[in-house]
Amino acid sequence: MLLKKMIAVCTFAVSALTITPAMAAYPEKPITLVCWSSPGSGHDLMARYIAKLGEKHIGQPIVVVNKKGGKGKVAMSYVLNQKSDGYVIMTNTRSMTKRLKPTGGSIAIDSFKYISRVVQDPFVIVVKEDSPFNTMSDLVTYAKNNPNKIKVGGYSTQSVDEGLVHDIEKISKINLNYIPYKGGKEPVVAVLGGHIDVAIANPSEMMTSFQAGKLKALAVTTEDRFSPFDDTPTLKEQDINNVTVHWRGVMASKDVPDEAIQKLDNMIQKVLEEPEFKKFLNSSNMLSGYISNDKFGEYVTKQTKK
């Protein structure tokens, strides 16, 4: 066992020595990964796992720095003000890019190069166990007769949650009363306490109450059903043609050389295959959502244009 490990370490060291000079210089010093939320948040944990597991794949330590504030604007302007050499990169999320304009101004969608999408976090539409609604069509029928009466809670305004509610309203031609909350768990608590009727939540925010039978799931917002919500149909299956997932990824400023972007993308792809990262995704109820850099930018632009 020990011998095997030794051999592995030696081969790794030798290959590292022989391969490194052949590759271009990047990266020759530690990389800073800027995270726009506070330490300990789900988003921050993703950054820290990338940093921890990515080091051996890219050959340099990765340091996570938290720059909180302004819904990501503080972190974005910090990254844009650094040298565009690929040593300062940052995490991004759908809610952050959703607030940006496609172009123009000091910070816009085209100020960045998109390295890779890392995880996706789908939504589950939940009601309390004793709610009269069992399917989306129950909800839609009730809303048609009682416009603006169903109180739907979600995270924040101008958020992905609110966008989802508005999409459902538009597709089903109904009016709902959207109530924004400060955190993702608060709407779930409000549903459990009977203060509002429906909550839009990510799996991590409602899983335990769902498993304890205190919540019913009306729909999931993904393309296909996913575990452990195998009995919950998607919106599409219920004639609401909509797929909405929240995602988190990594980006860099637009002048960073493509070569560096490619290397970082390769690293993230390898991190996603690590068992430890898979375990992290599993325990925090997120799904892998890898999209490589050549498609990620297009994907973000498509979601922003309105």
Is the peptide bond prior to 21 cis by the omega test (within 30 degrees of 0)?
A: no
Strands (E), the chain: 31-35, 62-66, 88-93, 112-122, 124-128, 151-155, 177-181, 198-201, 215-220, 245-253, 287-291
Q: What angle do CA 29, 119, 39 make, to 5 degrees?
A: 60
Q: What is the DSSP letter of 215?
A: E
Counted residue by residue, the chain has a size of 306
Stretch that binds other proteins, among 13-21, 63-71, 228-236, 237-245 (CB under 8 A): 63-71
Alpha-carbon span 293 to 251, nearest angstrom: 9
Least distance CB 265 / other proteins (angstroms): 26
Yes or no: say if 303 and 82 are a contact pair by the CB < 8 Å rule: no
Query: Counting contacts by CB under 8 A, is residue 214 touching other proteins?
Result: yes
Judged by CB under 8 A, which of 4, 5, 182, 302 binds other proteins? 182
Alpha-carbon span 8 to 4, nearest angstrom: 6
The interface mask with other proteins, positions 232-271, x = CB under 8 A, is ----------------------------------------
Judged by CB, which is closer to other proteins: 205, or 265? Answer: 205
Handedness of CA 6, 11, 17, 20 (dihedral sign): negative
CA dihedral 24, 30, 31, 35 (to 10 degrees): 170
Judged by CB, which is closer to other proteins: 73, or 225? Answer: 73
Stretch that binds other proteins, among 9-17, 55-63, 206-214, 219-227 (CB under 8 A): 206-214
Judged by CB under 8 A, which of 57, 60, 74, 85 binds other proteins? 74
Least distance CB 284 / other proteins (angstroms): 6
Alpha-carbon span 124 to 234, nearest angstrom: 9
Judged by CB, which is closer to other proteins: 23, or 65? Answer: 65
Judged by CB under 8 A, which of 150, 190, 219, 271 binds other proteins? 190
Stretch that binds other proteins, among 25-33, 179-187, 216-224, 228-236 (CB under 8 A): 179-187
How many Cα atoms sit within 13 Å of 288 on the Cβ side?
16
Residue 236 backbone dihedrals phi, psi, to 5 degrees: -60, -45
Judged by CB, which is closer to other proteins: 39, or 102? Answer: 39
Stretch that binds other proteins, among 10-18, 60-68, 119-127, 255-263 (CB under 8 A): 60-68
- Considering only residues 20 to 59 of the shown chain, the ones binding other proteins according to CB under 8 A are 38-42, 45, 48
Query: Counting contacts by CB under 8 A, is residue 185 touching other proteins?
Result: yes
Yes or no: say if 172 and 240 are a contact pair by the CB < 8 Å rule: yes
Query: Counting contacts by CB under 8 A, is residue 131 touching other proteins?
Result: no
Judged by CB under 8 A, which of 84, 137, 169, 189 binds other proteins? 189
Query: Counting contacts by CB under 8 A, is residue 67 touching other proteins?
Result: yes
Alpha-carbon span 67 to 258, nearest angstrom: 25
Strands (E), 44-111: 62-66, 88-93
Query: Counting contacts by CB under 8 A, is residue 68 touching other proteins?
Result: yes
Yes or no: say if 108 and 100 are a contact pair by the CB < 8 Å rule: yes
Alpha-carbon span 87 to 68, nearest angstrom: 19
Judged by CB, which is closer to other proteins: 42, or 54? Answer: 42
Binding site for other proteins (CB under 8 A): 38-42, 45, 48, 65-71, 73-74, 77, 148, 151, 156-158, 177, 179-182, 185-186, 188-190, 192-196, 204, 207-209, 211-212, 214, 279-280, 283-284
